[in-house]
A and B are shown apart, each in its own frame.
Chain A
């Protein structure tokens, strides 16, 4: 529960930094946008580290993907979500170097939309798997 709550905070903060990256590129400030994109990647990395810690604890306590219905969905959905976080981080890294060189600025907005979606998915997963706990 605590790890999930921290991760919610981390992801919401990462959404803020991607908005700041978009705001910076709208003003033509490439360096600032580059910096905020890398902050977002950093927050994504923190999210994944906490997720790994959480998975480890659960597996040690014997809760694996084959345990029961709850754990099957827990690992499938949070794992799929984590893959989306990794994908977003890789694409953001590629975009950051593009904008530093001075082209494809519109992609900051597009990756921002994607990142907000990933955040939104977590907002559904958190109450479903950490609060309701069927």
Chain B
């Protein structure tokens, strides 16, 4: 592996290379984004199936 480049690429304060820690940190945030959307979609779909559509149309 090349040791040139920004200091963050070859310095490790946690025992995990900083670059790798960074990418996992990014992916953790992505899991929340996609996970949140999937959860919302699943929940709303179930609610529609259980008659929320009818309930909302009366409001």
Contacts and interface: CB of A to CB of B under 8 A. Distances in A.
A and B part of one assembly: yes
Nearest to A77: B37
A130 interface: no
Question: Looking at chain B's contact residues, is the secondary structure mostly helix, strand, loop, or mixed?
Answer: helix
A103 B37 contact: no
B34 A106 contact: no
Nearest to B53: A69
A124 B1 CA distance: 34
Interface in B12-28: 17, 19-20, 22-24, 26-27
Contacts of A77: 34, 37-38, 41
10 contacts: A81-B34, A106-B2, A106-B19, A106-B20, A110-B19, A110-B20, A110-B22, A110-B23, A114-B23, A134-B45
Interface of B: 1-2, 4-5, 9, 17, 19-20, 22-24, 26-27, 30, 33-34, 37-38, 40-42, 44-45, 48-49
Interface of A: 69-70, 73, 76-77, 80-81, 84, 102-107, 109-110, 113-114, 117, 121, 124, 128, 134
